[in-house]
Structure 1
Amino acid sequence: MYPEIALASASPRRRELLQQIAVPFSLVQVDVDESLHDGESPVAYVSRLARAKAQAGADQIHFALPVLGADTIVVVDQHILGKPADEADFSRMMQLLSGRCHQVLTAVALIGRHNSASCCVTTDVSFRQLTAADIAAYWQTGEPRDKAGGYGIQGQGGRFVSHISGSYSAVVGLPLCETDLLLRNWQEQA
């Protein structure tokens, strides 16, 4: 049903999501500069990173397969929250998210030798009010260290989420509905 692809991501969550919808894939390791450009909007930033990862993967395997790249960011008040640098940075992020709604943006890019396709999905996520004890205990789990915005909705961080409007799988790291459509359209055009 799906074309075989290469996944340009080290995320175990993205691998699990592709397996969930039975996409045949191999992995390609890429390293791209994730610096935010001056004046770059969150949508432009996350979309650029997804395309850069897919392009780096395509270059690495010489376009032997279509390459899927993805990136996920957390945005509050138009400020991008990356992976926490340390416990203090994590605590600052959780205080910003506490009792509020924020956006999770996941961009997906699919690049082949002669064509490309991409999309960006925005999901609104609301957190309940967090206590200092909630924040400290969550840091001690180790889960927040490699997560955009400092939390994983699919893990223990899910207990903080009071409401979601949009794609749950996009918050995890790959919007399944949109990825399915990208891959189906790709297959039809091949």
Structure 2
Amino acid sequence: MKHIILASTSPRRKQILAQSGLSFTAVSSNYEEDMTLKLKPLDLAKHLSRGKAISIANKYPNHIIIGADTFIALKDELLGKPLTMEKARKSLKKISGKAVSVITGFTIIDTSTKKSYSKACVTKVFIKKLSTQEIENYIKTNEPLDKAGAFAIQGLGAVIVKKIEGDYLNVMGLPLFELAQALKKFGITIL
């Protein structure tokens, strides 16, 4: 079996892929994400994941490359990682009391055959109404700063999530069920 390269150093993506039992190496893609491209959210997620995978594909002949990208859609607005406390505060105020769509795109590339496959998955997440104090308390933990939409469902952010519809792991950054189905197209089975 060809060795798998995960075009990401995200701890959550590494954890999810490790759950599968597959052997892989995680490599930073250094791909510059452009969230301003005039694409529909599902197309943008696939485009960004493909960019991450392609950015390292030439360095790894005879490998399977997996790239992924996750962001939040609130109606027509896309929310990525806030990176600053002020942006996290704004994102949390926007999503407070609302249902948001967490979109993860993933791309698989076989670098020896050039075969590729991309898919975008959506999970609906219902956020509780947040008080100003709850937002401030959560921001002080620094957890929201490097998370799409400014919350981490697998961390303290779980207390602001009322319910989800769809794949929990998609919200964390890698929809393992859909990825496993797609890997079969490349001759890789998990179970």
Instruction: Give the TM-score normalised by structure 1.
Output: 0.93
Query: Please, which of 88, 96, 106 is the counterpart of residue 98 of structure 1?
Result: 96
Query: How much does 1:46 deviate?
Result: 1.3
**How many Å separate the matches in 2 of 1:65 and 1:78?**
37
Aligned partner of 1:132 in structure 2 is: 132
**How many Å separate the matches in 2 of 1:142 and 1:26?**
28
Query: Please, which of 68, 72, 75 is the counterpart of residue 77 of structure 1?
Result: 75
**How many Å separate the matches in 2 of 1:3 and 1:143?**
36
Aligned partner of 1:178 in structure 2 is: 178
Question: What SS does the aligned partner of 2:15 have?
Answer: helix
Matched to 1:133, the amino acid is Q
Contact 2:43 2:120 in 1 (8 A): no
Aligned partner of 1:58 in structure 2 is: 57
Instruction: Give the TM-score normalised by structure 2.
Output: 0.92
**How many Å separate the matches in 2 of 1:51 and 1:155?**
28
Gaps of at least 5 residues in structure 2 are none
Gaps of at least 5 residues in structure 1 are none
Q: Map of 1:1-190 to 2, 5 A cutoff?
A: 4-61=3-60, 63-113=61-111, 114=113, 115-187=115-187
Q: Give identity over the alignment, percent.
A: 33
Matched to 1:177, the amino acid is F
Query: How much does 1:86 deviate?
Result: 1.9
Query: How much does 1:3 deviate?
Result: 5.1
> C-alpha deviations, 1:74-95, integer Å up to 9, x for none?
0101210011142221111111
**How many Å separate the matches in 1 of 2:56 and 2:37?**
25
Question: What SS does the aligned partner of 1:26 have?
Answer: strand
Contact 2:16 2:176 in 1 (8 A): yes
**How many Å separate the matches in 1 of 2:28 and 2:104?**
19
Question: What SS does the aligned partner of 2:187 have?
Answer: helix
Matched to 2:14, the amino acid is R
Matched to 2:7, the amino acid is A
Query: How much does 1:38 deviate?
Result: 4.2
Query: How much does 1:4 deviate?
Result: 3.0
Contact 2:45 2:69 in 1 (8 A): yes
